[in-house]
Amino acid sequence: TFSGEVRNQGNTNASVTILITLYKYDGTVLGGVTGAPTIKTIPPGERSPFSLTTKDVNLTLYQTYSSRATTTQ
């Protein structure tokens, strides 16, 4: 499970999608998970927690991960 918080730094409400990508020791992609934060539409300046759980990924093989949040307004 990957947990965190996203913040809307814009001036309008934003719908957010979060992507977590897992990488093996050699840099190849092992898998990933996408999802939304608890608050679906985040007002300007506000924050929302998120918690994403990977499925069907052997976590013993992952070395590092990247996270990315994208928005639609």
Its pTM stands at: 0.82
**Mean pLDDT calculated for residue range 49-57:** 89
- Cβ(36)–Cβ(18) below 8 Å: yes
**Mean pLDDT calculated for residue range 3-30:** 94
Q: Is residue 55 predicted with pLDDT exceeding 90?
A: no
Three state DSSP letters for 24-36: ECCCCEEEEEEEC
